[in-house]
């Protein structure tokens, strides 16, 4: 009996290794944003400022490239009614956070514009004057769903109040947002939406840093 168990031992170890690796790679990170995918069917606790109209929708009406929401049944439609005097004149925000000392965070979001291309600025920031940003980056979205991500430095001190801000006043335009995630650590691919094509988060492609595009 002992010999049989001994001979099986390498196979048992192999099985456990494959199982545990699968668990690690399939593990989901904790999204620190409530209603990050707008699956509550409402915007709360998100808010906008500036000359913007925002609506949670099921259908991406009049999109140049017809697509469904990336995560679940809903996504957020945003219409920037006028170009701002500066790109931060209008924005989408998720407030009420604390960036903790010793941690770094990644902000990821799926975006697509109605047509052509459109710029957007990601800014995890102190939610009060002088509004310093951490890992702030500008991206150029296209008319197909693509995930864009930026990672903050490691925080030397707590930052409170902290806000997740997207500056969107580059142009008068219409676009959609879905699957927004804010989580501890480096970029992790999401566990939703088709069979995504992953791109190295350190690569720069068409002005993006770390993106993932759905086929």
117-175 tens-digit pLDDT: 999 999 999 999 999 999 999 999 999 999 999 999 999 999 999 999 999 999 999 99
User: Is the bond leading into 130 cis (omega within 30 degrees of zero)?
Assistant: yes
Residue closest to 178 by CA, chosen among 73, 25, 32, 49? 73
Instruction: Name 165's bridge partners.
Output: 93, 123
Q: How sure is the predictor about 11, in pLDDT bands with cuts at 50, 70 and 90?
A: very low
Would you tell me which CATH number, out of the four given (3.30.365.10, 3.40.250.10, 2.60.120.260, 3.40.47.10), belongs to the domain 30-214? Answer: 2.60.120.260
Q: What is the pLDDT of residue 192?
A: 77
54-82 tens-digit pLDDT: 999 999 999 999 999 999 999 999 999 99
Give whole-number Cα distances, 65 to 81, 114, 142, in Å.
21, 8, 10
The domain spans of the chain are 30-214
Q: Are 141 and 206 in contact (CB under 8 A)?
A: no
CB-based contacts of 84: which residues, under 8 Å, 6+ apart? Answer: 50, 51, 90, 169, 170
Residue 63, CB half-sphere, CA atoms under 13 Å: how many?
Answer: 22
Residue closest to 175 by CA, chosen among 90, 82, 76? 76
């Amino acid at each position: 009996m002992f010999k049989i168990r001994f001979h099986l031992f390498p196979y048992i170890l192999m099985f456990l290794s494959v199982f545990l690796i699968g668990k690690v790679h399939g593990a989901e990170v904790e999204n620190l944003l409530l209603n990050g995918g707008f699956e509550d069917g409402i915007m709360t606790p998100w808010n906008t400022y500036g000359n913007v109209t925002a609506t949670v929708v099921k259908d991406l009406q009049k999109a140049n490239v017809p697509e469904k929401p990336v995560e679940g049944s809903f996504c957020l439609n945003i219409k920037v009614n006028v170009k701002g005097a500066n790109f931060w004149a209008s924005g989408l925000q998720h407030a009420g956070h604390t960036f903790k000392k010793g941690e770094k965070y990644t902000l990821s979001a799926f975006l697509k514009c109605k047509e052509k291309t459109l710029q957007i600025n990601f800014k995890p920031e102190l939610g009060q004057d002088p509004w310093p940003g951490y890992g702030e980056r500008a991206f150029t979205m296209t008319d197909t769903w693509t995930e864009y991500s930026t990672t903050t430095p490691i925080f030397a001190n707590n930052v409170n109040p902290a806000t997740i801000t997207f500056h969107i006043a580059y142009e008068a335009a219409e676009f959609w947002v879905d699957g927004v995630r804010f989580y501890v650590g480096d970029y992790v691919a999401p566990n939703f939406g088709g069979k995504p094509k992953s791109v190295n988060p350190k690569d720069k492609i068409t002005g993006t840093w770390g993106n993932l595009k759905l086929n």
